[in-house]
């Protein structure tokens, strides 16, 4: 009888998958949930702006419509924020009489495209090289270490600028325009994604390499080798899940770095040039501030701060929730 009761009690135990366990731990952090909601709001804004551009076409996006064309009569283009033209005028007008609100919302689309694509490109390179170097060792490890040591020895900003100048001009730009890919992703955005992917993978590669070198000597990996499992199965089924928390935190960091890099490169004239972005608004604001026009810079800078803050906090919370070493 006691055996039946024991079986019944065991059957009532809740079996938690790693995903459920991570979500249970994440829900305990109220600040993480708040910033996760903020990040989701930015994502929906960016998605709505993307749909708007796809529906209307790149030649006539909604952000180019001025409030004066929509029936609002202002005598000056640089009009400060006002509730008279709610909601499009609550953040004021820019130098061309366009709604700053629409431009910052369109800038969220550019920020997400740069952040997500740049982070994914960086993760693919860093994770792949880190796994190979840490697992195989030998000459593979020596080659990877030499490559990322060389990249890390070059000043980050100078390397970004050099690559951006090379990609923006010359045969590469001509080939890209003739390929037809510019209809999906502009040359400026494509260049920024390539620059970020080529310069921001070193940190993740180092972390993954060191973690894999420790994990590959554990008992369960040796047991998998004794059972005859191949290297690819051991890498993706036994080692990768135990180092994947590094990818989560690195994605959040690279996402923020990518957005800031777009702002820097656009400010210096080698980034986005034909689409509204926060970097472009900040670049124009350097002349507007001398005339007392502060609202375009405040709008773009404020949203940039909120997005980076939410990504950083959510990334740290996800790393803590997914790290198998912190389950206690």
Residue the block writes with tokens 């366009």? 98
Q: How are the residues of the chain apportioned to helix, strand and coil, as percentages rounded to the nearest 5?
A: 75, 0, 25
> What residues contact residue 60 under an 8 Å CB cut-off, 6+ apart?
none
Token pair belonging to 277: 């972005």
- pLDDT of 77 > 90? The answer is no
Domains with residue ranges and CATH for the chain: 18-326 (1.10.3720.10)
Instruction: Give the closest residue to 319 by CA, choosing from 204, 227, 181, 159.
Output: 204
Q: What is the spatial distance between Cα 293 and Cα 82, in angstroms, rounded to a whole number?
A: 14
pLDDT tens sequence across 217-245 = 777 777 877 877 777 788 878 788 888 87
Residue the block writes with tokens 């029936």? 71
Token pair belonging to 3: 């055996």
- What are the φ and ψ backbone dihedral angles of 99, each rounded to 5 degrees? -70, 125
**What pLDDT sits at residue 50?**
65
The stretch 2-7 carries a mean pLDDT of 48
Instruction: Tell me 324's DSSP state.
Output: G
**Higher-confidence position of 174 and 265:** 265
pLDDT tens sequence across 179-229 = 766 666 777 788 888 888 888 899 899 999 988 888 887 777 778 778 777
Q: How far is CA 158 from CA 42, 151, 173, 206, in A?
A: 31, 11, 20, 21
Residues 126 and 204 sit within 8 Å (Cβ to Cβ): yes
**Higher-confidence position of 170 and 257:** 257
> What residues contact residue 57 under an 8 Å CB cut-off, 6+ apart?
none
Residue 155 — pLDDT band, cuts 50, 70, 90? Answer: confident
Q: What is the spatial distance between Cα 64 and Cα 71, in angstroms, rounded to a whole number?
A: 15
Token pair belonging to 263: 């702002």
**What pLDDT sits at residue 53?**
56
Mean pLDDT of the chain: 77
Residue the block writes with tokens 């994770």? 127
Least confident of 35-44, 82-91, 145-154, 167-176: 82-91
Instruction: Give the closest residue to 256 by CA, choosing from 185, 314, 189.
Output: 314
Instruction: Give the closest residue to 303 by CA, choosing from 152, 108, 63, 142.
Output: 108
- Collapsing DSSP to helix, strand or coil, 302 comes out as helix
Instruction: Give the closest residue to 324 by CA, choosing from 255, 251, 254, 238.
Output: 238
Question: What percent of the chain is modeled with pLDDT above 90?
Answer: 8
- pTM for the predicted model, two decimal places: 0.77
């Amino acid at each position: 009888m006691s055996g039946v009761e024991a079986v019944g009690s065991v059957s009532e135990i809740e079996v938690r998958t790693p995903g459920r366990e991570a979500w249970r731990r994440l829900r305990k952090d109220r600040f993480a949930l708040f910033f996760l909601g903020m990040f989701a709001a930015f994502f929906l804004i960016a998605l709505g702006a993307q749909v708007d551009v796809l529906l209307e076409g790149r030649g006539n996006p909604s952000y180019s419509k001025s409030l004066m064309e929509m029936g609002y009569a202002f005598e000056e283009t640089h009009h400060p924020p006002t509730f008279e033209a709610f909601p499009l005028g609550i953040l004021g007008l820019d130098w061309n009489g366009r709604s700053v609100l629409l431009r910052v919302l369109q800038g969220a689309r550019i920020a997400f495209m740069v952040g997500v694509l740049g982070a994914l490109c960086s993760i693919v390179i860093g994770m792949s090289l880190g796994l190979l170097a840490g697992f195989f060792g030998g000459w593979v490890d020596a080659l990877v270490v030499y490559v990322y040591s060389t990249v890390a020895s070059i000043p980050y900003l100078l390397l970004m600028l050099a690559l951006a100048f090379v990609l923006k001009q010359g045969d590469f730009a001509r080939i890209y325009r003739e390929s037809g890919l510019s209809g999906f992703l502009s040359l400026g955005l494509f260049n920024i994604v390539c620059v970020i992917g080529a310069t921001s993978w070193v940190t993740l590669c180092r972390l993954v390499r060191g973690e894999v070198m420790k994990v590959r000597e554990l008992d369960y990996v040796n047991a998998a080798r004794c059972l005859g499992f191949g290297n690819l199965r051991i890498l993706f089924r036994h080692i990768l899940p135990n180092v994947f928390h590094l990818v989560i935190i690195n994605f959040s960091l690279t996402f923020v770095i990518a957005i800031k890099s777009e702002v820097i490169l656009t400010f210096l004239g080698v980034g986005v040039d034909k689409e509204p972005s926060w970097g472009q608004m900040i670049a124009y604001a350097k002349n507007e501030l001398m005339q007392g026009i502060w609202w375009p810079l405040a709008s773009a800078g404020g949203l940039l701060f909120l997005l980076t803050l939410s990504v950083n906090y959510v990334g740290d919370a996800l790393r803590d929730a997914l790290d198998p070493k912190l389950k206690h």
